[in-house]
């Protein structure tokens, strides 16, 4: 099954945000409240799955994890965090300009 992990990352005021996505081929299906751990996360305990949507016909599972709200509203800080995620296999479908 294709598992897609989605996390929203935003500035403190919420004015700028992006969704980041990472995909896996997995036999494990996460559930709501599962902890998702990834090398891109600064939080060593990972983030909790807050919603899981399974499409059996397409063999897909979308897992939405807790959002990451950065300290401050600096666009460069947001770019740096997104860049760190992307270096570790995440995708940002809508790039920052």
Q: How confident is the model at residue 96, as a pLDDT?
A: 84
Going from the first residue of the chain to its last (97 residues), give the mean pLDDT of each consecutive group of 10, the final group possibly shorter. 97 96 94 96 95 96 97 93 97 90
pTM score, whole prediction: 0.93
Asked if residue 94 is part of any domain, the answer here is no
Q: Could you tell me the two tokens for 62?
A: 């979308």
Asked if residue 22 is part of any domain, the answer here is yes
> What's the domain range around 40?
2-87
Count of the separate structural domains present in the chain: 1
Alpha-carbon distance values, 75 to 11, 32, 40, 66, 82 (Å): 8, 31, 19, 21, 11
Asked if residue 69 is part of any domain, the answer here is yes
Q: How confident is the model at residue 12, as a pLDDT?
A: 95
């Amino acid at each position: 099954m294709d598992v897609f992990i989605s996390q929203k990352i935003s500035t403190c005021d919420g004015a700028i945000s992006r969704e980041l996505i990472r995909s896996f081929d997995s036999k494990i299906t996460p559930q709501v409240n599962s902890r998702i751990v990834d090398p891109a996360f600064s939080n060593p305990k990972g983030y909790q799955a807050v919603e899981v949507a399974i499409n059996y016909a397409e063999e897909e599972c979308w897992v939405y994890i807790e959002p990451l709200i950065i300290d401050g509203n600096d666009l460069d800080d947001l770019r740096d965090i997104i860049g760190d995620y992307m270096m570790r296999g995440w995708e940002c479908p809508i790039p920052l300009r």
